[in-house]
Amino acid sequence: MTGHPHDRARDAVGKLLDIVGKLRGPGGCPWDREQTSASLKPFLLEECHEAIEAIDAGNPDRMVEELGDVLLQVALHARILEESGHGDFARVAETLSGKLVRRHPHVFGDVKVSDSSEVLGNWEAIKAAEKKHDEARRSVVDGIPRSLPALHRAERVQARAARVGFDWKRASDVVDKIREELDETVDAMESGSGAEFREEIGDLLFAVINLARHRKVNAEEALHESIAKFTRRFGKIERRLTAGGRALKDCSLEEMDAAWDAVKREDGE
């Protein structure tokens, strides 16, 4: 007879923390003992990306492994906090639990909501109240990590602004904005000003991301899919054109375009 899942989880987390403590303790692993919160940052980021790849692949076994690697990073950072006297894993978990309860009054309190948009609105209002004491974060768009990929960060900034009503009413309005930004980008390109072009191409990308958000499409994932499609098709035209022993650099652009069109037709486009 198996125990309650929570009991099993507590035992597993306890075992993990014991292992991490031993790795960091006297006689432990020299590499683990040398690490600091700063030195572990690249590994935390890398493990998160690997977990995302496992999710995208739809592979549950790989997800288990990669999420475990992310948890290891959390456990290591918490252990380093404990060693410095500034916290521990329990404090990390308790802080998170308290935040989840506070920000879900529709679950743990008497607040009524009709849909997820109201949940997000309440979340931002509660979060703003919590941050009142923080003079450095007065804006609703503050606090989004600068280290996020630019597409993802733009989407988060736009979503934050939208939650307080600063947003286009219709997707067609965003399309008009894209046309306007494209015209300004072309003008900047023709003017020969590199700085102006850089600014305008950024505005154009920001507007395109806004359209994706309005249509509930994740811009980061959509771009990854387009990159994957391009990579697959380019590989096919390489194989077509070099089958006879020619180098791709010796093929004309017209030949490559024709091969590209043939590959697209094969794909049903």
Q: What is the pLDDT of residue 134?
A: 59
**Residues with Cβ < 8 Å from 267, sequence gap 6 or more?**
233
Residue 61 inside a domain? The answer is yes
Note the pLDDT tens digit of each residue in 208-240: 999 999 999 999 889 989 999 999 999 999 999
C-alpha atoms less than 13 angstroms from C-alpha of 50 in its C-beta half-sphere: 17
**Residue 210 burial by CB count (10 A; 0-12/13-18/19+): exposed, middle or buried?**
buried
Q: Are residues 76 and 43 in the same domain?
A: yes
119 and 190 belong to one structural domain = no
Asked whether residue 81 falls in the same domain as residue 131, the answer is no
Domain count, the chain: 4
My answer on whether 33 and 78 are in the same domain is: yes
Question: Based on the domain organization, do 120 and 171 belong to the same domain?
Answer: no
3-class SS of residue 218: coil
Closest CA relative to residue 67, chosen from 19, 16, 132:
16
- Clarify whether residues 81 and 154 are in a common domain: no
Q: Say whether both 85 and 166 belong to one domain.
A: no
DSSP 249: G
Within 10 Å of residue 25's Cβ, how many Cβ atoms?
13
Residue 1 has pLDDT above 50, yes or no: no
Where is average pLDDT lowest: 87-91, 185-189, 221-225? 221-225
| Domain final residue, candidates 85, 113, 138 | 138
**The domain that contains 164 carries what CATH number?**
1.10.287.1080
Label residue 133 by pLDDT band (50, 70, 90): low
Q: How confident is the model at residue 136 (pLDDT cuts 50, 70, 90)?
A: low
| 224 in any annotated domain | no
246 and 213 belong to one structural domain: no
Burial class (CB in 10 A: 0-12, 13-18, 19+), 218: middle
Is the same domain home to 72 and 110? no
Q: Which of 54-58, 130-134, 166-170, 253-257 has the lowest mean pLDDT?
A: 130-134
As a whole number of angstroms, the distance between CA 38 and CA 59 comes to 31
- Residues in contact with 259: Cβ distance below 8 Å, sequence separation at least 6, in sequence order: 236, 237, 240, 241
DSSP string, 106-128: HHHSS---SSHHHHHHHHHHHHH
User: Which one has a higher pLDDT value, 63 or 137?
Assistant: 63
- Domain limits for position 177: 145-217
Mean pLDDT, residues 115-126 taken together:
84
Give tens-digit pLDDT for 62-77. Answer: 999 999 999 999 999 9
Mean pLDDT score, 250-260: 92
Buried b (16+ CB within 10 A) or exposed e, 95-127: eeeeeeeebbbeeeeeeeeeeeeebeebebebb
- Rounded CA-CA distance 67/54 in Å is 9
CB within 8 A of 257, min separation 6: which ones? none
The 10s digit of each residue's pLDDT in 17-32 is 999 999 999 999 999 9
**pLDDT over 70 at 178, yes or no:** yes
pLDDT at 4 over 80: no
